[in-house]
Amino acid sequence: MPVFRFATVQGQAIHWALKRNCSVTPSQLGWFYASLCVVSLGIATVFWLQGATMVLPFAWVELAAVGLAFLAYARHATDGERISLHGRRLVVELENAGRLERAEFDREWVRVEPRFDGRSLIEVSGRGRSVRVGRYVRPELRPVLAQEIRRALRETD
């Protein structure tokens, strides 16, 4: 069994899990946002009680804007690409904002090539269907990933 840089081998299957580099999970972000709301609204309430009535509405507007930004971040925090080679099937799953796109290819008919040049996304295609992978890999490492997938298609059964 060959050694891979990006893949894990489980029995006869090879899996590539390429994910977005996120420092905070959606759950952690939710707790942070809740604590931010408590502190900000607490301070705004103190000013409102002192007679500065416009502080509280601006605090709500600010928290709504931050909440929308956090929501956009959280929607894409779990984005990723999963590629699996098991037996005669290469399965590519792309998750973007909670939407899953899945494509299956026969290993004998699949092609793995850069879309334009060596640093562009990798196009996996076969029998009239194609998907692009490698969004979550640094551009200079995409040729390495493509070569690794091609080698796995050639060498494993």
Quick: pLDDT tens for 56-99.
999 999 999 999 999 988 888 889 999 999 989 999 999 998 89
| 44 backbone φψ class: left, alpha, beta (φ>0; ψ -120 to 50) | alpha
Q: Per-residue pLDDT averaged across 39-53, rounded?
A: 96
User: CATH 2.30.29.30 region(s) of the chain?
Assistant: 7-20+79-155
Residue percentage of the chain with pLDDT more than 70? 97
CB-side neighbour CA atoms (13 Å) of 22? 18
**pLDDT value of position 147:** 92
Four-way CATH pick for 7-20+79-155: 3.40.50.720, 1.10.3720.10, 2.30.29.30, 2.40.30.110? 2.30.29.30
- The model's pTM: 0.76
Q: Worst-scoring range by mean pLDDT, 29-33, 42-46, 71-75, 123-127?
A: 71-75
Please answer whether residues 112 and 45 qualify as being in contact, where contact means their C-beta atoms are separated by less than 8 angstroms: no
Residue 24 pLDDT level (bands cut at 50, 70, 90): confident
**pLDDT value of position 4:** 85
**pLDDT value of position 95:** 94
* Sequence-distant (≥ 6) Cβ neighbours of residue 82 within 8 angstroms: 15, 16, 17, 18, 91, 92, 93, 95
